[in-house]
Amino acid sequence: MRKLGSSYDQLRKVALRNRIKILDMVYSASSGHLGGSFSACDIITYLGECEIDYRAPDRDRFILSKGHSVPALYAELNELGFIDDSELSTFRQVGSRLSGHTNRDKVPETEITTGLLGQGLSYGVGMALAKKLKKSKDTVYVMIGDGETHEGQVWEALMEAGHYKLDNLVLIIDRNGLCSHQLVEKVISIEPLRERLESFGWLVKEINGHSMEEIDSAITSLKAQYGKPKCIIAHTVKGKGVSFMENNGYWHRSIPTEEQYRAARKELLEQMGEE
């Protein structure tokens, strides 16, 4: 793992590079989800660079329950050497390993096959409980979308994790405020989210999900706390990194025109200090 030597500036640069890969994949395929991939990108980058050793058979695990944001995970797995540059251009193509949702049979580093929202946390609870029984010191990370909390199965899993005091489980909620194209709170309100999670026996932290400093601080501090499952409510921006996509539900799964693609790519390159 090259992880521990990464500075915050280096992590931010990797995340920007991953956003460019996401943009390229979705544009090339004329299919995929930009908005949620961009909002999740910084946390997925951090986990790949600083926490999870995908080459170790016994390791921390990361489950991307909001599986449609898998371009962000493919981008980071490419950064780590598990997916070749040339393979990224096959995203969502017939016969490609890189399907539109995580598929463990094709890319084992994605851990489980996700697609139907609401199921990832249940898998995570099972993994965390199994690690407890094996007396493993590993952590299970699960990312869900805030709109995903509309699924009843999520709350069943929250209740079970609290009951078993799974302090080796970290739930990350990508709180970008948009459920597909609409405001989460307009579809079904999930507030007061923190208080609801705490009532289920969870330890909760709220952070800016685009700040590498805050991501690092939250994950590091949670490692030293025991007796409860842990949740990070990561306040993010759907479409983060491209000004005309940010906080715009249209970009949940819309495909940019050539002009929009070039403008978005230019913006991301400029943020990296490149032209």
- What was the pLDDT predicted at 265? 98
Burial label for 90, CB within 10 Å (0-12, 13-18, 19+), is middle
- What was the pLDDT predicted at 197? 98
- What was the pLDDT predicted at 5? 56
Closest CA to 245 of 22, 16, 37, 35: 35
pTM, two decimal places? 0.96
Domain boundaries, the chain: 3-271
| Mean pLDDT of the 206-213 span | 98
Give the C-alpha separation, 220 to 128, whole Å.
18
Give the C-alpha separation, 275 to 269, whole Å.
6
- What was the pLDDT predicted at 146? 98
Is residue 13 predicted with pLDDT exceeding 60? yes
Give tens-digit pLDDT for 18-46.
999 999 999 999 999 999 999 999 999 99
- What was the pLDDT predicted at 2? 43
Closest CA to 49 of 174, 209, 210, 212: 212
Check whether the bond before 192 is cis (ω within 30° of 0).
Answer: yes
From first CA to last CA, the distance across the chain in angstroms is 30
Mean pLDDT score across all residues of the chain = 96
- What was the pLDDT predicted at 115? 80
Is residue 273 predicted with pLDDT exceeding 80? yes
Right CATH number for 3-271 from 3.30.70.3040, 3.40.50.970, 3.30.70.260, 1.10.630.10?
Answer: 3.40.50.970
Q: For 80-151, where are the alpha helices, taking DSSP H only? A: 85-88, 120-133
Give tens-digit pLDDT for 149-200.
999 999 999 999 999 999 999 999 999 999 999 999 999 999 999 999 999 9
